[in-house]
Structure 1
Amino acid sequence: MSAHDANLVDILMSSAIDGEYIRDQISGTYRSYTEADQQQSSDVSAAEKSEYRELENELLDSLKTRERQAIKLAESGKVAEAVDQLDKIIADCPHYASAYNNRAQANRLLERDSNDVLADLDLAIRYANPDNNDSVLGQAYTQKGIVYRALGDQDAAFNNFSMGARYGNEVAKMAAPKENPYAKLCGKMVSQAMKQLRNPA
């Protein structure tokens, strides 16, 4: 993390009840509690998780600027360089959901391992705040649907396209009905019935 971004994180965390814990979560240096500690903090973990996901505006603007630069690299055909840039963004702020989503897309373009792509998409979904990240969630679920369809997992593709549609992704809205296994089964049964009507035994 750069000195500038570190200062921004200090400002962000100065009023936190447990600032050091939250800062470590954002910087990626947090070490897991023991099982006993986790049990004791279970009643506040949801609130803490919400706090460290809400990045301070200036830091978020900086991340978005760097992310746009990475997207421009990908659009100009420099996809591997875009991945490198997104790697750095994620290293600086491991809970920035959008960077995982875009890195997954870039790695799909490079035809890299599907498991790595799915892992990034799972993290994008995990760290996205549903209150203001509908676009990221919609894209991440839709990308998962595309990956699972390519892998031949029709049920997983349908489930993820359905979630993408739920978060407003237009591609997912079109894809989900086509991947619906029940609709496909009904369509096949109707087709067979019509064939029998046309050609009775």
Structure 2
Amino acid sequence: MSDNSAKEDALLDVIFNPLMPAGGEIPHVSQADETQDDDDNEASNEAKELELQGVHSAEAGDVNSAIDFFNKAVQVAPQRASCYNNRAQALRLKGDVIGALDDLDHAIELSRDHGKAACQAYTQRALINRLEGHNDEALNDFKMAASLGSSFAKSQVVRMNPYAAMCNQMLTDVIGRLKAGEYQDGSDEPLN
């Protein structure tokens, strides 16, 4: 296959599969990114354990207990972005949107726009902003989360852009007609 053909295939893949990253490769958060805020020290390990207990409490429906565990994790490791991320989720479940947004802002700041914690914080903040009707802010956050590897965020970026969806549909129709032989070579008129 020629280099041009490969480029054309990649372009068509982007056009017809907008939810997949360019090149067909699925971006991921590297192991280094996942652990960037995780020092292997006693405080970090204790915070991880407290976060795990908080997650279990939240899953069991005890949001207040979950928040208590996340508060303790923040006290033990205040530079650990995931502590704020998890607490934000619990605060949101409790209905404290302002508190959740504050924690997400802090998680994003601590993560320096890198890694799993940043990706999750941007996604959570985007969802809250969308629910609150702040679509421009939501779109910006979804774009950041998508750039950090979130396929869900990428799908939301596409969904929130009506022009991209319309162009996608038009191109799909034209390519479908070309494949079906409805257009003559070099003509923009249908054969019918």
Superposition TM-score, scaled by structure 2 size: 0.62
| Distance verdict in 2 for CA 1:59–1:97, change over 3 Å | same
Q: 4+ residue runs of structure 1 moved beyond 6 angstroms?
A: none
CA contact (8 A) 2:67 2:90 kept: yes
> 1:142 offset after TM fit, Å?
0.3
Amino acid at match of 1:69: Q
| Distance verdict in 2 for CA 1:138–1:161, change over 3 Å | same
Matches within 5 A, 1:142-161: 142-161=123-142
Q: Secondary structure at the match of 2:95?
A: coil
Deviation readout 1:64-90 (Å, 9 max, x if unpaired):
111111101101111111001111111
CA contact (8 A) 1:67 1:86 kept: yes
Counterpart Cα distance in 2 of 1:181 and 1:104: 30
Q: Secondary structure at the match of 1:94?
A: coil
Q: Secondary structure at the match of 1:145?
A: helix
| Distance verdict in 2 for CA 1:129–1:153, change over 3 Å | closer
Superposition TM-score, scaled by structure 1 size: 0.59
1:125: which partner in 2? 108
Counterpart Cα distance in 2 of 1:149 and 1:168: 20
Amino acid at match of 1:149: R
Deviation readout 1:17-64 (Å, 9 max, x if unpaired):
xxxxxxxxxxxxxxxxxxxxxxxxxxxxxxxxxxxx663433322211
Q: Structure 1: 5+ residue runs without aligned partners? A: 1-52, 191-201
Amino acid at match of 1:151: E
Structure with larger RCO (C-alpha < 8 A, sep 6+): 2
2:57: which partner in 1? 73
1:104: which partner in 2? 88
Q: Structure 2: 5+ residue runs without aligned partners? A: 1-36, 171-192
1:62: which partner in 2? 46
Amino acid at match of 1:170: S
Aligned length: 132
CA contact (8 A) 1:74 1:106 kept: yes
1:177: which partner in 2? 158
Give the CA RMSD over aligned residues.
2.2
Amino acid at match of 1:61: N
Matches within 5 A, 1:89-100: 89-100=73-84
